[in-house]
């Protein structure tokens, strides 16, 4: 009698992400993933048509989990909202960096891909749009709690600030020796934005 695995889709996603984190993209096969999960390769293909789609789903699922960590953490806080938010986002990005880096390397070095295909694949290694919006709304919530202000979600400058923070976190990890200095720098940038916006 075949083994029944509860939440098989979730188990496949978690197993695949762990394998992609510890191995190069090329060295992770659908057969290896199926073996680790404890299912037949055919069963895996019933869920995902190919390794690429499985990778994207696993990566997106990992960010959905990061969002849950963020939102649950924020519910428990009474102060230091922004620093906590930055700490979690920074840690989650650090954990995902090897996977993303390896995949970008694989896409760029795949000689069978044309330029258009390369761009399409690279664009899929991004935050899912729905998740970006959820994290953006959480960012606004955090700023309102931290600085006791009211913000407009449709403010273009605010969205640019959010995008800059998300982009700069992995870059700052290369520039400052101490993690606390990275986070303090971002905090100061955000604080100066709020001060300028509400003092003008």
pLDDT per position as a tens digit, 95-154: 877 777 777 777 777 767 788 887 777 776 665 666 788 889 999 999 999 999 999 889
In a domain, 15, yes or no: no
Span 81-91, average pLDDT: 89
Q: Which of 15-19, 33-37, 79-83 has the highest mean pLDDT?
A: 33-37
Is residue 70's pLDDT more than 70? yes
Cα-to-chain-centroid distance, residue 12: 18
> Which pLDDT score, from 0 to 100, does residue 128 have?
61
> Which pLDDT score, from 0 to 100, does residue 121 have?
72
Instruction: Count CA within 13 A, CB hemisphere, residue 143.
Output: 28
In a domain, 45, yes or no: no
The span from the CA of 121 to the CA of 115, in Å, is 10
The span from the CA of 185 to the CA of 112, in Å, is 42
pTM confidence score = 0.75
CA-closest candidate to residue 18, choices 135, 114, 96, 92:
96
Find all residues with CB under 8 Å of 103, minimum gap 6, and list them: 20, 25, 55, 125
Is residue 2's pLDDT more than 60? no
CA-closest candidate to residue 48, choices 64, 66, 65, 29:
29
Q: Which of 44-48, 55-59, 170-174 has the highest mean pLDDT?
A: 44-48
In a domain, 13, yes or no: no
Is residue 29's pLDDT more than 80? yes
3 state SS of 198: helix
Is residue 5's pLDDT more than 60? yes
3 state SS of 111: coil
In a domain, 4, yes or no: no
Q: Do residues 93 and 63 touch, judged by C-beta distance below 8 A?
A: no
Find all residues with CB under 8 Å of 198, minimum gap 6, and list them: 147, 149
Residue ranges making up the domain that contains 105: 62-199
> Which pLDDT score, from 0 to 100, does residue 134 have?
87
Q: Do residues 129 and 161 touch, judged by C-beta distance below 8 A?
A: no
Q: Which of 125-129, 171-175, 188-192 has the highest mean pLDDT?
A: 188-192
Q: In total, how many domains does the chain have?
A: 1
More confident residue, 52 or 143: 143
Ranges 77-91, 98-112, 159-173: which has the least confidence: 98-112
The span from the CA of 184 to the CA of 78, in Å, is 19
In a domain, 132, yes or no: yes
In a domain, 126, yes or no: yes
């Amino acid at each position: 009698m075949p083994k029944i695995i509860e939440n098989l889709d979730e188990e496949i996603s978690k197993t695949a992400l762990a394998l992609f984190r510890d191995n190069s993209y090329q060295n992770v096969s659908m057969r290896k993933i199926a073996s680790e999960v404890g299912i037949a390769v055919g069963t895996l293909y019933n869920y995902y048509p190919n390794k690429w789609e499985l990778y994207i789903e696993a990566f997106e699922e990992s960010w959905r989990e990061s969002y849950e960590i963020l939102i649950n953490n924020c519910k428990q806080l009474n102060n230091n909202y922004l620093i906590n938010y930055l700490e979690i986002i920074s840690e989650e990005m650090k954990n995902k960096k090897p996977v993303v880096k390896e995949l970008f390397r694989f896409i760029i070095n795949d000689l069978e891909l044309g330029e258009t295909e390369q761009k399409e694949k690279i664009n899929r290694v991004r935050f899912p749009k729905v998740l970006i919006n959820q994290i953006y709304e959480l960012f606004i919530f955090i700023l309102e709690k931290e600085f006791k202000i009211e913000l407009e979600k449709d403010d273009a400058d605010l969205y640019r600030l959010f995008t800059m923070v998300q982009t700069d976190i992995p870059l700052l990890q290369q520039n400052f020796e101490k993690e606390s200095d990275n986070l303090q720098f971002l905090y100061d940038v955000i604080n100066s934005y709020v001060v300028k916006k509400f003092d003008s």
